[in-house]
Amino acid sequence: MTADAPAPVRDPAWSLSRSAIGLWVTEGVIGALFWVVVVTAVLVFVPEGGLPSPLRWALVAFAVLEAAVTIGIRPWVRYRVHRWEVTGEAVYTLTGWLTRTWTLVPISRIQTVDVTRGVLQQLFGLATVAVLTASSQGTVRVLHLEADVAQRVADDLARRAELVRDEAT
């Protein structure tokens, strides 16, 4: 491979924190509870004649299936497919379990690095690193890293991006 050849597209090296599974399960439980409340309200407040029996069963089946997928399947699949890596040249992410998105942001394009911690992320000791560029499509988010890892990654990226800017002037 020559020096001008692009880097091969490959899966990034690192998985997210295993605590992300617990976070996603919790989000699934919250979502499932929402649907349980909605379906229960429909079954309680809509009279028997107002909603055909097959439709009532379909609503119950939907709520059960939705809960099974969002609690029992989606978190494990997402953990297996979401990946990230920081190399000397770029930040890579691979996201999505149905539609796969591979994103590369060169260190030289980084303008801002942010670390955010949502309420549920804080409960699980997680944080998200957002790497922003001048491009409207240039933001890459590394979701659900352990909070201390996220802070170290953000500090390292900010330092390296600054070095690249200093060398360019």
Q: For residue 48, what pLDDT band results from cuts at 50, 70 and 90?
A: confident
**Strand pairing class (90-95; 101-106):** antiparallel
Q: What 3-state DSSP class applies to 104?
A: strand
- Structure pTM? 0.84
Asked whether residue 30 carries a pLDDT value surpassing 80, the answer given is yes
User: In this structure, which amino acid lies at residue 150?
Assistant: A
pLDDT given at position 2: 43
pLDDT at 75 over 50: yes
Q: Is residue 20 packed enough to be buried (19+ CB in 10 Å), middle (13-18) or exposed (0-12)?
A: buried
The answer to whether residue 5 scores a pLDDT higher than 50 is: no
In this model, does residue 85 exceed pLDDT 50? yes
pLDDT band (50, 70, 90) for residue 47:
confident
